[in-house]
Structure 1
Amino acid sequence: MNRLFVLLLTIFISISLVKSQELTVNAEADIVSSYIWRGLYVGPASVQPGISLSSGGFTLGVWGSSSFNASWREFDLFASYSIGNFNFLITDYFLPHDLPAIEKISYFDFSKHVVESTLGFSLGESVPLSFVWNTNFLGDDDYSSYFEASYSIPTSFVDIDLILGATPAAGYYSDGFAVVVTAIKATKEISVSDSFSIPVYTQAVLNPDSKDVFLLFGMKF
């Protein structure tokens, strides 16, 4: 299936679902000490902005990442729909990772895109356990997949997330079935004024498959 068709179809469905309902616009940005994604090092310290439109259970948005040393840039379109404890997500990844090179990569060269489907499920507030399954279905001949389970533990000082991630077969993440993420994340709200606070977080990540470790810091605006 042509990737441009997938993008246009996603946008068409998005507009059809939200045009007769009230829209909510959300804009935010993270600043991270390094870009770690599913147990893999992607890039150095970066700013990661995003903007989205939401109506009911549907969200359409764009997310990106740009490293401060101009060595990495990413531009992702996504559309999601939530119903009950389920969330369905389609993401189009565009990664011009050779940004410093003289030869530029055209955004409209759809052979450079990867499109991923995601199914998420949460047990709810009484049991703060959630599961996510991700599979590339365009732009990846291996159909690389990633599964993650996370458990949240609120405390009086910080909120703790325990994360376990794995890939079921050979692909982007590993040469076969492997646990690629064991992580702990601590998040705290830092009050700036009576009406404004900044969430900050620290995350320790171990990739048992690559035997690599990461410690990162981030803040959200």
Structure 2
Amino acid sequence: MKKIIFRCLFVIVAFCLFLDVKAETKSQFKISPGVDLVSSYIWRGVYQTGPAIQPSLALSYAGFSLTAWGSTDFNFASPAKEFDLSLNYTFSGLSLTVTDYWWSGEGARYFKYKDSHFLEGTIGYYGGEKFPLSLTWSTMFGFNSDKKANGDRCFSTYIEAGYDFSVKGVDLTASLGVTPWTGLYHREGTNGFDVSSVSLKASKEIKVTDSFDLPLFVQCIFSPNQDNVYLVVGMSF
């Protein structure tokens, strides 16, 4: 069943790429640094760390982008450390992404790829300002990290739908994330299809001075398959 799904997704992507051959692309080269400060780091409904700083650096050109993203918490005695690399191509509202995740922590061997990295492919869609619906399908497919106890691959998969809207000057994003089969996102002892995350994120720039606005966001996250709930506050620069 999983192989059939992957083949169907491949056909869809190949067809979209064929349609986009003659499409115009932006050829301007951009360098985009950024940083988030969060009260806790929650990834796809799963708790990762407490307060953390999360820098990023993206290089983009003609629809392609290469992004380095990291996270380090404030536990100075034994800091949790993550470093991810993503290669993305966006066209006609669709996007293709391959991400290398590494979150083994400070002191771990980064270049021991097979045992410490997770490789994931993502297909995404965004409807644009007139219909701001986003859909993503993400599946782990490489290295040895995403495996069951018997050695078979889990192909851990996360599917998310989100919708952007505004209320009284506050930007809101409502999202729902599910996992279709047993894998990385399940609490121990749970299996099969499950709801990973139901969230509402509110973002607004708070005016501090005439020349400085504070980019604040608050996100409420319900995680049914973890039997947990989170309220996260953060700043994005």
TM range (shorter): 0.7 to 0.9
Match runs of 1:36-185 below 5 Å:
36-70=42-76, 71-97=79-105, 99=106, 104-111=107-114, 112-139=116-143, 140=146, 141-174=153-186, 175-185=191-201
Q: Return the letter of the residue paired with 1:218.
A: G
Q: 1:84 to 1:217 in 2, by over 3 A?
A: same
Per-residue deviation, residues 72-120 of structure 1 (Å, max 9, x unmatched)? 10011111011011011111011123x3xxxx32111002111111111
- Could you tell me which residue of structure 1 aligns to residue 233 of structure 2? 217
1:42 deviates by 0.4
Return the letter of the residue paired with 2:38.
Answer: V
Q: Higher strand proportion, which one?
A: 1
2:204 is matched with: 188
1:30 paired with 2:42, answer: no
1:165, 1:22 → 2: CA distance?
33
Structure 2 CA distance for partners of 1:57 and 1:185, relative to 1, 3 Å: same
Cα distance in 1 for residues equivalent to 2:166 and 2:127 = 16
| Number of corresponding residues | 196
* Partner AA of 2:218 in structure 1: T
Matched to 1:66, the amino acid is T
Q: Secondary structure at the match of 2:198?
A: strand
Quote how far apart the aligned CAs of 1:124 are.
2.2
Residue 59 of structure 1 aligns with an amino acid whose one-letter code is S
Give the aligned residue type for 2:162.
S
- Please state if 1:199 is matched with 2:229: no
Distance 1:55 1:193 in 2: 35
Shift of 1:61: 1.7
Cα distance in 2 for residues equivalent to 1:57 and 1:46: 30
Which residue number corresponds to residue 7 of structure 1? none
2:209 and 2:30 map into 1 onto residues whose CA distance is: 25
> Equivalents in 2 of 1:88, 1:194: separation in Å?
40
Deviation at 1:197, TM superposition (A): 2.8
- Cα distance in 2 between the residues matched to 1:57 and 1:89: 12
**TM-score, normalization: structure 2?**
0.79
- C-alpha distance in 2 between matches for 1:202 and 1:113: 30
Give how far 1:195 is off. Answer: 5.0
Code of the aligned partner of 1:95: W
* Identity in percent: 40
CA shift for structure 1 position 22 = 4.0
